[in-house]
Chains A and B, each alone.
Chain A
Amino acid sequence: MTKDSGDVRDVLTNLYSNSTANRYIAATVLALVVVFSYTGYDTLVYRHDVIQNFSEDNEWLLTFETTSDTTQQTVVLQDEETRDLTFDMTDFSVPDGYRIGYIEAQIVGEETAGVLSGNQCDSIAGDIVRNDLTAQWDDPSNNLSGQDSSCVPIDLRLSVYPEFDGEDITVRSINEFQALMGWTDDGWGKGLLSITLELDTNSNTPFVGVDDDEEITIDINVVMFRASVEAIE
């Protein structure tokens, strides 16, 4: 029996007046509930937990394991001579998973090294020459030039990997991979390291003779690192 009173109860009675259709409707509603239940569990419970673990508030401690490779070269410079020395970075052995962090150079003169020549300290200057070597040439921690006339070694430094100083750092990211992402770039430290040496001897020492040359030793220390990460609870 149908009613057209317009009352919601009557309208629904009319709509659900067909028992065969009602069975299909009930099956559809049941299907809705079943599908929503298991997909809801996956979405609202499982996936939500997964996402929370990857939430952007995750803090990670980045630590750096370092190693280094060195090379040494000794040259003899005449008074007022300038000499360019180059070191091919491929000659340094970089272990798997490591990247070059920075390069240190120490320039040591003959007198500095403790050789008893009896002479006054010579004036030595050393520069790391800016070239195509892929490095942080404008990093404030660089020390690209040095000069000494008091028998003290000259220490030069060139930062190679961006923002690497060897200290542990804390980063925020959604997962371990992304926390490490900035520390796995290849391509830094490629090219030739060029160092210019300049000598100005002080040979005005009585009873010793004329000192018009100097043996200079250059130690190159390439510091490499491998980053690892652990979550901060």
Chain B
Amino acid sequence: MAELESMTPVAAIVCILLGCTSLLLLKRSPNRGWIDHMGGMMLSWIILFMGVSYAATAVREAFEDSSVDLDFFRYTQYSFGLVSIILGASFTFFYPYPIIQKASRIKAVPYFVCVLSLVLIVSMLLMDYKYVGATRIVYIPGFIILISVYFRFLTDEIKYGDETARRLSFAAGLIIIALHGAEMTWWLAQLISINDEFIGRNAIQSGVGDFSRIPTWIGYNVMTTIGAVATLTLAAGETWRAQAKGRSGFTIIIYLILGVGLISGIADYAVLDIVNSCMNTVCNDFPESYDIWYTFTTGALVLLFTPLISMYVLLNFDVIDSGSKENRWLTRIIVILMLLIVSSTMIELLQSFLPVSQMISSAILAMVVAIFIGWEERIMEKLIEQSESISKKLSSLKEIHEPDLDVTELEFFSKAMGSLLVFTVVLCFLYSSIT
């Protein structure tokens, strides 16, 4: 059986491609509401920063056995990972239900993100990333906002018959999956409290002194707790909705995550002896089937499907003007390209452990290409037809303030993020040269 190849380089390409294209499409969509504009920019930059972080990870993975000095890539990986965490946490204050609506506060966001990012990047750099896990605590308020939006609009839909409310609960649910997808698949392991044993194993494998810092462990526990609670509450909410309104695609996705988490939890429990071998004897390797399971579930969800979910949010909630003639061709290219990259990667991964000849996998890939080309028109039309901005819904509820902001003021956010990107790269380069 061949060794499973890493998906990180593919994730890097997908994220950088999607991030850049989304920013370009946003630039070409001038008549968007401020929520869509701000939310779109934030989401695009999160994807782009994640892409840069994945690219650095991919370089480290490729050269880990060589004598090449990889410090620059290590700093880049962590620094951009940090920025995307801070942006991800800030994003929930703007989308889908903006908590911050005053012009002065919206204008302050780029400064806030840049300053907080730089403070954290520099301090973590100096502390050699010993406390980097602790930064995940910043997700707590965002999760509470998202789950509040989900339940508020789910209740509006089911109890008060507001059919248009689904868009907001759907958007909130999708963003929860995009931000906490990996941890959502560990829900059972967290509920039966065995994730700490995996944390212990990682601590020993990474060198106990560096890893076993209480703040880092709080950060990891916060994330896994959010993931477990998110899965169960979304599953409860979707069950309620399915009973009242029938099942939807999102209901199926949530049940899929629930099922994956159930199997993963059982698998995690089954390998506890191997997990604890680090403490009792020496760290034994996990069985190959266990690694394959996690590559195709949690790994694929984080590295391949999170960018797809982000793309879906951008298109389905009309964040970018995909309907205009100018944007339509670029949107089509990026949708087909991303779907193809992800499907071909999955086929390649399957081929790496299933006894499928290259001829068969090429034929499957050709079928996928044909399906996407054939359905391209339909996929796009469905996305564009169904797309409706959430700001329209919020405007109809009179829950959105129209701040006195012009496009230039909003686009300052992109300029600030661009500067942050350049500054961070230079900082990482300098620091790696000095140390």
Contact = CB atoms under 8 A, between A and B. Distances in A.
B148 A2 contact: no
Nearest to A27: B233
Contacts of A46: 196
Interface in A1-41: 2-8, 11-12, 14-18, 20-21, 24-25, 27-29, 31-32, 35-36, 38-40
A18 B195 contact: no
A55 B212 contact: yes
A20 B162 CA distance: 15
Given A40-B218, A175-B279, A177-B281, A4 B400 contact: yes
A113 interface: no
Interface in A47-83: 47-48, 50-52, 54-57
Contacts of A177: 280-282
B288 interface: no
A39 B233 contact: no
A31 B279 CA distance: 31
Contact of B220 (A6, A14, A43, A56): A43
A178 interface: yes
Given A43-B220, A177-B280, A25 B102 contact: no
Contacts of A7: 101-102
Contact of B99 (A11, A48, A50): A11
B162 to A, nearest CB: 11
Interface residues of B, number: 58
A18 B208 CA distance: 48
B221 A44 contact: yes
Given A35-B229, A181-B282, A25 B148 contact: yes
B335 interface: no
A178 B226 CA distance: 36
Interface in A129-154: none
A18 B221 contact: no
Contacts of A18: 152, 155-156
Contacts, number: 145
A38 B208 contact: no
Contacts of A15: 97, 99, 145, 148-149, 152, 399
Contacts of B148: 15-16, 21, 25
A85 interface: no
B100 interface: yes
A52 B217 contact: no
Contacts of A2: 397-399
A134 B99 CA distance: 73
Contact of B197 (A8, A36, A47, A48): A47
Contact of B214 (A25, A38, A48): A48
Interface centre among A15, A40, A43, A50 (most CB of B within 10 A): A43
B147 interface: yes
A186 interface: no
B97 A56 contact: no
B221 A40 contact: yes
Closest 9 CB pairs of A and B: A6-B401, A6-B101, A43-B196, A21-B155, A47-B196, A21-B151, A24-B151, A21-B152, A177-B281
25 contacts: A2-B397, A4-B399, A4-B402, A6-B401, A7-B101, A11-B98, A15-B99, A15-B149, A15-B399, A18-B156, A20-B159, A21-B148, A24-B151, A24-B155, A25-B148, A31-B229, A36-B222, A39-B193, A43-B217, A51-B203, A54-B204, A54-B279, A55-B212, A56-B208, A174-B279
Given A14-B397, A15-B149, 12 more contacts: A3-B398, A4-B401, A11-B101, A25-B152, A35-B225, A36-B225, A40-B218, A42-B193, A44-B214, A47-B197, A48-B217, A175-B281
